[in-house]
Amino acid sequence: MAAQYVLGYDIGGTKLGVGISTVDGKLIGTERIPNKDTRPEDVLPEMIAVTDRLLAAAGLTRQDIDCFGISAPFPADPVNGIMTAPTNNPKWRNVPILDFLREQLGMDGCFENDANCGALAEGFFGAGRGCRDFLYLTMSTGIGAGVITNGRLVRGRSLCGGEVGHMVLVNNGRQCACGQRGCYEAYCGGRAAALALQELLKDNPDHPIVQIAGGRIEDIDMVAIEKAVRMEEPMAMAVWDDMARKNAQAFGILINTLSPEKLILGTFAWAIGDLYLDPIKKYLPEYTWPQMLEACEIVPSELRREISAYAGVAAALNFRQERI
């Protein structure tokens, strides 16, 4: 009898998730391992131990598993499955995690960008079910995307496709952490927006936004900005409006280029809600053709904060489908 289960691993900055799913997409067991400021030589063996513990709890063995999937942050070497320089854990450098798991588990598997895995997870389990053309955008600290076209994940020649956060929206604009200037992420990523506002207020420690953040300029973050907007603080509202327009510009580029059925949006969309989405939707008609906008539904993630539990197994399910 063919193996009827898959394994998934999600490599986060503070937690590393392990999950087991049936091949028809039913999640049957998950566990998380602390991964903040850890060394791979300590965590990798623990991944195997947790895997075997989950299998035993489910009454399974490794022979019941068809394949595994890894959801990993980039930059990385996707061809060889090597975590080269993840920004969320500086101790993980040039880690050949794909080969390690292949050898230790005795089975084949895949290595995917975490934004791609988010899209696959929404496709198998969330807001993308039954949809053959959609994008999932990570809208949080940074901005990335997983692109599904005609039911297939788009990786591109370099296998790094979907880096929409680094579309340049402003010529010679803000410095982005990626090295370019004027990137979408430099204006609408949570960390970049907060840093830009911190810079604006560096000589104004008594400003209301600083007080909302607890009195320290360096503690201004998206939560503080949102609170200030809800209080109708003028500077926060101006920053919010600029973010909405930049988001609309980026969404318009994506909609006009790919004409998706859905844009599925990550953290900010479901955590903040209409305060975040309504201004973007107001500006969108300025940036996209009406027939394409009408054909595209803009929705928040259904999986929300649980998406990491599904990311690795979604990669494995997709890998299994691509092999058939």
| pTM across the whole model | 0.92
DSSP 140: S
- For residue 161, what are its two tokens? 């496709």
Same fold, 5-122+306-323 and 129-302: yes
Condensed to tens digits (0 to 9), the pLDDT of residues 193-217 reads 999 999 999 999 999 999 999 999 9
* Helix (H) or strand (E) run with residue 91 in it: none
Which residues neighbour 33 within 8 Å (Cβ) at sequence distance 6 or greater? 15, 16, 17, 18, 43, 46, 47, 50
Condensed to tens digits (0 to 9), the pLDDT of residues 175-191 reads 998 889 999 999 999 99
Integer CA distances (angstroms), 76 to 83, 96, 235, 303, in order: 5, 10, 38, 25
Confidence class of residue 284 from pLDDT cuts 50, 70 and 90? very high
Can you give the pLDDT at residue 158? 84
Kindly report the average pLDDT of the chain as a whole number.
93
CATH fold of 129-302: Nucleotidyltransferase; domain 5 (3.30.420)
Can you give the pLDDT at residue 1? 55
5 within 8 A of 65, measured Cβ to Cβ: yes
Report phi then psi at 71, rounded to 5.
-100, 115
Confidence class of residue 219 from pLDDT cuts 50, 70 and 90? very high
What average pLDDT score do residues 135-152 get?
94
Architecture of domain 5-122+306-323: 2-Layer Sandwich (3.30)
Nearest to 220 by CA among 229, 231, 228, 209: 209
Q: Is the pLDDT of residue 87 over 80?
A: no
Condensed to tens digits (0 to 9), the pLDDT of residues 11-57 reads 987 789 999 999 888 889 999 988 887 889 999 999 999 999 999 99
Which residues neighbour 236 within 8 Å (Cβ) at sequence distance 6 or greater? 197, 209, 225, 228, 229
- For residue 168, what are its two tokens? 């340049």
Domain boundaries, the chain: 5-122+306-323, 129-302
Exposure class string for 62-98: b at 16+ Cβ within 10 A, else e = eeebbbbbbbbbbebbbeebbbeebeebeebeebbbb
What average pLDDT score do residues 105-133 get?
95
Confidence class of residue 88 from pLDDT cuts 50, 70 and 90? low
Distance (Å, rounded) from C-alpha 97 to C-alpha 7? 14
Which position has the token pair 């980026």? 250
Q: Is the pLDDT of residue 234 over 90?
A: yes
Count of all residues that appear for the chain in the document: 324
150 within 8 A of 101, measured Cβ to Cβ: no
Distance (Å, rounded) from C-alpha 41 to C-alpha 57? 25
Per DSSP bridges, beta strands 65-72 and 109-113 are: parallel
Coil vs helix vs strand at 133: coil
Q: Is the pLDDT of residue 2 over 70?
A: no
Distance (Å, rounded) from C-alpha 111 to C-alpha 152? 16
